[in-house]
Amino acid sequence: MNDTSHTARLLVACPDDKGLVAEITRFIADRGGNILDLDQHTDPDDCMFFARVVFDLHGLNLSMDAFILQWNTLADQHEMTWRIHDASQHRRIAILVGKTDHCLREILWRWEDGELPCDIPFVAGNHDDLSPLATRYGLPFHTLPVDASSRRVQEYQIETLIQQHHVDLIVLARYMQILTPEFVSHFPNRIINIHHSFLPAFAGAKPYHQAHRRGVKLIGATCHFVTDDLDAGPIIEQATARVGHRDTLADLIRKGKDLERSALMTGLQLQLEDRIIVHGNRTVVFE
C-alpha cells in the first residue's frame, strides 16, 4: 500500500499490441505524471493485455478532465476498456445484510479503524436484527422486508437508495436473498458477494450442511461478483480451513465465519484499491 494522497489508479484491458506499455507510460510521463507502481499482464490464451498503473498527480501539467479527454483518443485506438480513479476520492459502498452479523461487524470495525478507504452511506437488511449494530457505528439502517411477491418492489427501494446516495459498490454481507436478473443487470461488476463454500462446490443453499454431509476435510469461502447465474460470477478471492471428523455442523459454521470474514475483506479491499479487472467470467487481480 502506498500513500494514496494525490495519486491516480488506471486500469486497462485491451487486445495486446506491440509497444502498449511504452505508449501508456509515455503518455503519462509526457503529462507530468510519475508512475509509482505498474503491474501488467498479457494473457497468452486470448492475447489480451491488462494493466494497473498508479501514478502521482502532483506534477501533472494539465487538469484531470483534460488528461481524460486526451486519454480517450489513445484508448479508442486500442479498443481499451479502462477506468481511472483518484485514490483520494472515497468510493461509496452500500451494505446489504440478513440476520447474520459477523461479516457486517468485520466491515464496520475495519472501516472505523481506517483500513477500508470508503464511505458507507447506509446499511439495509430484509430483517432489522442488525439495525443496532449499524446504529452503533453511526450509520443509517433501512429495514426492507421481502417475500416472493414483493421482491421487485423491495429491490426497487434498494435501487432508489443506491441512486440517492451515489453508491459505487454494493456489498452482500451474508444477504441471503437471491437478487433478480433485473436488479443484477443494473450493477454489472458492482455487486460483491461472499458465499460460504469453496465454489463451485456447494453452490446454492446451506453449503455447510452440504459440506458436512459430504465429509470434506477442508471447508471454504468465496468472494465473487454477482451475475445472473447463481454463485457462478467471477471469483475474486477464496480461502479454506481444515476440518475433521470431530467437527459438528455447528463447528463448520463457526470456523466458516472466520473464512467468510477474511475472504470478503480481502475481496472488498482489492476492489477499493482498484486491483481487479473482470474479463469474461474470470478476474485479473493485481496484488
Total residues interacting with a second copy, rule: CB under 8 A:
67
What's the CA gap between 248 and 69, in Å, rounded?
59
Of 9 and 158, nearer to a second copy (C-beta) is 9
Separation in Å, CA 56 to CA 2, 12, 31, 72, 200: 11, 17, 11, 20, 40
What's the CA gap between 287 and 276, in Å, rounded?
9
Site for a second copy contains 138 (CB under 8 A): no
Query: Shortest gap between Cβ of 259 and a second copy (angstroms)?
Result: 11
Of 25 and 150, nearer to a second copy (C-beta) is 25
Could you say which of 126, 193, 227, 238 contacts a second copy (CB under 8 A)?
Answer: 238
Judged by phi (left if over 0) then psi (alpha if -120 to 50, else beta), residue 251 lies in alpha
Establish whether 231 is a catalytic residue: yes
b/e 269-285 (16+ beta carbons within 10 angstroms → b): bbbbbbbbbbeeeebbb
Of 144 and 277, nearer to a second copy (C-beta) is 277
What DSSP assignment string belongs to 168-216? Answer: -EEEESS--SPPPHHHHHHSTT-EEEEESSSTTTT-SS-HHHHHHHHT-
Site for a second copy contains 281 (CB under 8 A): yes
Q: Indicate which residue of 231, 247, 251, 258 is catalytic.
A: 231
Q: Take residue 85 and report the three cell numbers written for it.
A: 480513479
Site for a second copy contains 152 (CB under 8 A): no
Site for a second copy contains 129 (CB under 8 A): no
- 194-233 mask for a second copy (x: CB under 8 A)? ----xxxxx-----------xxxxx-x-------------
Handedness of CA 100, 106, 108, 109 (dihedral sign): positive
Site for a second copy contains 244 (CB under 8 A): yes
Whether the Cβ atoms of residue 107 and residue 116 lie closer than 8 Å to each other: yes
- Dmax over Cα atoms in the chain, in whole Å? 64
State which of positions 5-44 bind a second copy (CB under 8 A): 18-23, 25-26, 28-30, 34-44
Site for a second copy contains 2 (CB under 8 A): yes
CA gyration radius, the chain: 21
Binding site for a second copy (CB under 8 A): 1-3, 18-23, 25-26, 28-30, 34-45, 50, 59, 102, 105, 109, 113, 115, 136, 198-202, 214-218, 220, 234-240, 244-246, 248, 250-251, 254, 258, 262, 281-285, 287
Residues carrying an active site annotation: 231
